[in-house]
Amino acid sequence: MPALLGELVPIASTSSKLGFPLLTFLVFLPAFGAVVAMLTPTRRPELARVVAYVTSVTTFGVSVFLLTQFDTNPLKPGYQLLEDHSWIGALGIRWTLGVDGISLFMIALSALLFPIAILASAKIDKPKSFVVWMLLLESAMLGVFLALDAVLFFIFFEFVLVPMYFLFAGILSVGFMHQHSTHVLTFDVPVLTDWAAAHIHGGTAKLLFLAFGVGFAVKVPLFPFHTWLPDAHTDAPTAGSVVLAGVMLKIGAYGFLRFAIPFFPQAAVDLAPLLLVLAVIGITYGAIVAAMQPNLKRIVAYSSVAHLGFVVLGIFALTTQGLSGGLFTMLSHGLTTGALFLLVGMLYDRRHTYELKNFRGVWKVAPIFGGLFVVATFASIGLPGFSGFVGEFLSLLGAFLTSRWYAVVAATGVILAALYLLWAVQRAFTGEPDDENRATPDIGIREVVTVVPLLGLSLFLGFYPKPVLDRVQPSVNALIRHVELNSNYKAPSVPAPAPVATQNEGAGK
């Protein structure tokens, strides 16, 4: 079978042209900042904060530069800016980094949310230890999205998460099966992708797909593996919730796109109906449970279960539209839900509670805050004009092409999202304020700086999604072709619109 390396592995490395290992620098820059922050005097916590601000903003600047260096040529869908060095040669483990359209915006989103989360936590206790761990977490997150060696990915993945036995077992199994067949031990993702898709079939492929899938499903979080999420959000500080919802939940979906589907395309096709069922249940279940919550932060947490259901729906529709919609929703959810968690955290700072019954009438005494919360709510429910609409529409469209009834049922989640979020706004912000709420201060400048960029980006991408779609499309198309070539699946084609005769042509007839 012809190799697919032209479609799925690196094109010419821009790093070689730059003469600088840009991706390695991007991974280690936050970790370097963490070491510097750790060395600052404990009695001067403001110095650690300055280091964190400078480091995280610089990291974001580097990610913007990465966006400018990314080649959008649709004929070049592979990995770019490749860096490949021997690391643990005896075990076939290499330091291999690269970026494609699937990972590009997850990197940019991570780099954007960390400085915002740190700025939003200006009043947190033990600021030095907080910023050190936040910067180390940022390094690990960037490593997850850039690693092109499966073991290197797992190391970064483990640094972010609790141990995941099934995922590790799956990675080792594929690596050792490749060694048994070729007598070469490697964990290089493009090599294993090409080999596993061609040589691992049947029940073995399904078992290995499930091994990877369980590890990733917990992190999505896909129903019924979602139960940890609301408690984690409720107990986490605001910065933790922003990073968790904005980026960390996307690791699971990214893992499906980078490993499970490319490694085992036929198994992905065979098991897609199961994943679609779980996605639809997650969309409707998350929305219904959110509507029943008296706690504002838990409402937003359960909304993530529903939103990530749309991501999985789009991915396992296995269509260009669905995959593009899933990736777009991953980005959009980070912006809109990140903004909501920031605003909920600001409300908690003022009232020291998340209970809806204690917020009545806040909009009257804090009109700017209330207005921003309503805008964030509209963005989260996917109102046309915001990025959420684009992502969910493409996910539903892609699912409709292959799994019509899944899309029909999932569409009810859009209606339910409007129900539970607008109802929460009504209960929390309208009416006459009581004596305690009358003293609620409006939003401050620092707080505006953290929220407005996220909502502004959501609005921009809602009206002009082309910069994102242009960059993800080649990688999405390559993944669809890879699945088609290594399975019995044929993606549906959307017929081109019939040409419309001009007025002169009509007269000529």
Helix (H, G, I), strand (E, B) or coil at 208: helix
Lowest mean pLDDT among 8-22, 308-322, 380-394: 8-22
Better-predicted residue by pLDDT, 240 or 254: 254
Full-model pTM: 0.77
Residue 503 inside a domain? The answer is no
Residue 26 inside a domain? The answer is yes
Domain count along the chain: 1
- pLDDT value for 26: 92
Q: Which domain holds residue 469?
A: 5-493
Residue 146 inside a domain? The answer is yes
Structure token pair of residue 502: 């001009």
Structure token pair of residue 411: 């569409």
Neighbours of 309 (CB within 10 A): 30
Rg (the chain; Cα; Å)? 23
How far apart CA 37 and CA 47 sit, in angstroms, is: 7
Residue pointed to by tokens 């796109």: 257
**In this predicted model, what pLDDT tens digit does every residue of 317-362 receive, in sequence order?**
888 888 999 889 888 888 888 888 888 888 887 877 788 777 777 7
Residue 329 to residues 17, 38, 68, 238, Cα–Cα distance (Å) = 33, 36, 22, 22
Residue 502 inside a domain? The answer is no
Predicted confidence (pLDDT) at residue 167 exceeds the cutoff of 60: no
Q: Are 187 and 168 in contact (CB under 8 A)?
A: no
Residue 86 to residues 8, 168, 280, 318, Cα–Cα distance (Å) = 21, 21, 43, 35
Residue 10 to residues 149, 232, 299, 318, 403, Cα–Cα distance (Å) = 13, 37, 42, 23, 33
Residue 509 inside a domain? The answer is no
How far apart CA 57 and CA 175 sit, in angstroms, is: 38
Residue 505 inside a domain? The answer is no
Helix (H, G, I), strand (E, B) or coil at 445: helix
6 — pLDDT class (breaks 50, 70, 90): very low
Predicted confidence (pLDDT) at residue 501 exceeds the cutoff of 60: no
Residue 507 inside a domain? The answer is no
**In this predicted model, what pLDDT tens digit does every residue of 181-204 receive, in sequence order?**
787 777 777 787 877 777 778 888
**In this predicted model, what pLDDT tens digit does every residue of 207-230 receive, in sequence order?**
888 888 887 887 777 877 777 667
169 — pLDDT class (breaks 50, 70, 90): low
**In this predicted model, what pLDDT tens digit does every residue of 53-99 receive, in sequence order?**
899 999 999 999 988 888 777 766 678 888 888 887 777 788 889 88
Neighbours of 315 (CB within 10 A): 32
Structure token pair of residue 441: 């201060």
Q: Which of 238, 34, 233 is nearest to 117 (CA)?
A: 238
How far apart CA 253 and CA 402 sit, in angstroms, is: 20
Residue 101 inside a domain? The answer is yes
506 — pLDDT class (breaks 50, 70, 90): very low
How far apart CA 156 and CA 139 sit, in angstroms, is: 9
296-316 and 387-402 helices, crossing angle to 10° = 40
Reading phi first (left if > 0) and then psi (alpha if -120 to 50, else beta), residue 361 is in left
- pLDDT value for 163: 35
Q: Which of 271, 249, 276 is nearest to 261 (CA)?
A: 271
Q: Are 268 and 483 in contact (CB under 8 A)?
A: yes
Q: How far apart are the first and last CA of the chain?
A: 51
How far apart CA 229 and CA 337 sit, in angstroms, is: 14
